């Protein structure tokens, strides 16, 4: 679940926050509950950047002045403030009792936005070369590592498609981060874990292989993207992943990992499913209403 590191960085209705000490009591209850259930816990640190939702109190904060009509680019000082907000949020997560944080650098949100030459035309130290465009991400990760304890885990959620992102650049940035072991795990947020590169240096290879082939030292590498069956999860482990991440499969079947462990042929129900199926699985009406907004998830004729 994404937690916004600043109130103005909100993107979704009912999005959780971690930008104030007032959130600590609720965060502690979450961390305690997960620990009591035997699980490790992490807060996903998020800022929507230019995609912040004004209807929810969000303040769109683009890297470039021409991304959104009439909205100026962030000043250098504002970028530094957002960087510090990520680090402060990680400290708050540690105080609440979480085992770590996952830094959200995917899908055009602010860290991903700064990486993109399409969305970042800055001329300060956060724009221009890939070293400068990656600076915000690196300063966030390095700052969290300095500010939090040595056992506190740091993950990095990275997408490598769309939003003007360049695969070759992101591979080089990732290679450096893995080599220096700045993170504990890399979460490759792919739209499709089987997707093949269509052009450029790595044309014909799977996007996943471009990253699983990198030396990773002690860093664990995982991937998400249409993993709906035990067979596909096993294939990804064979393709070099240390772990896999599930989204839709976990919504359809909350104990998906247990089903996979019990049955190597387990497959998720075919989409779309009825709302009654989701209700039987324990989803709330609000959650079901949210999932109706995802194409082909809830059957359109289902009450």
Each residue's pLDDT tens digit, 265-286: 999 999 999 999 999 999 999 9
Quote the pTM value.
0.94
Using DSSP's 3-state secondary structure scheme, residue 4 falls into strand
Alpha helices (H) in the chain, listed in sequence order: 24-36, 76-96, 110-115, 130-133, 135-147, 167-179, 207-212, 230-238, 248-252, 256-262, 275-280, 285-291
Each residue's pLDDT tens digit, 208-252: 999 999 999 999 999 999 999 999 999 999 999 999 999 999 999
Q: Beta-carbon neighbour count of residue 8 at 10 Å?
A: 20
DSSP class of 298? B
Q: Looking at residues 21-32, what average pLDDT do you find? A: 97
Distance CA 172, CA 168 (A): 6
**Torsion angle of alpha carbons 18, 23, 24, 26, nearest 10°?**
-110
DSSP 10-46: --STT-EE-SSGGGHHHHHHHHHHHHHTT---EEEEE
Which pLDDT does position 14 carry in this prediction?
87
User: Higher model confidence: residue 220 or residue 302?
Assistant: 220
Planar angle of CA 139, 114, 87, nearest 5 degrees: 30
Distance CA 276, CA 25 (A): 34
């Amino acid at each position: 679940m994404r937690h916004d590191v600043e109130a103005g960085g909100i993107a979704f209705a009912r999005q959780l926050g971690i930008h104030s000490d007032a959130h600590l009591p609720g965060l502690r209850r979450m961390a305690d509950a997960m620990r009591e259930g035997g699980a490790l816990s992490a807060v996903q640190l998020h800022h929507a950047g230019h995609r912040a939702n004004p209807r929810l109190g969000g303040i769109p904060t683009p890297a470039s002045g021409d991304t959104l009509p009439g909205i100026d680019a962030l000043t250098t000082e504002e970028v530094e403030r957002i960087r510090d907000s990520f680090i402060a949020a990680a400290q708050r997560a540690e105080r609440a009792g979480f085992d770590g944080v996952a830094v959200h650098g995917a899908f055009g949100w602010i860290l991903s936005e700064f990486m993109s030459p399409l969305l970042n035309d800055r001329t300060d130290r956060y724009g221009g070369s890939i070293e400068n465009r990656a600076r915000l991400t690196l300063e966030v990760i390095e700052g969290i590592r300095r500010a939090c304890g040595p056992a506190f885990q740091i993950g990095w959620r990275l997408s490598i498609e769309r939003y003007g992102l360049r695969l070759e650049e992101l591979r080089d940035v990732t290679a450096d981060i893995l080599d220096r072991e700045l993170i504990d795990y890399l979460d490759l947020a792919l739209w499709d874990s089987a997707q093949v590169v269509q052009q450029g240096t790595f044309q014909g290879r799977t996007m996943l292989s471009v990253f699983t082939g990198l030396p990773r030292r002690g860093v664990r590498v995982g991937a998400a993207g249409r993993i709906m069956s035990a067979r596909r999860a096993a294939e990804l482990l064979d393709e070099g992943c240390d772990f896999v991440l599930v989204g839709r499969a976990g919504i359809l079947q909350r104990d998906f990992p247990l089903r996979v462990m019990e049955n190597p042929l387990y497959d998720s129900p075919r989409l779309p499913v009825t709302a009654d199926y989701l209700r039987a699985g324990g989803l709330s009406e609000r959650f079901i209403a949210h999932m109706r907004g995802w194409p082909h998830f809830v059957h359109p004729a289902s009450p």
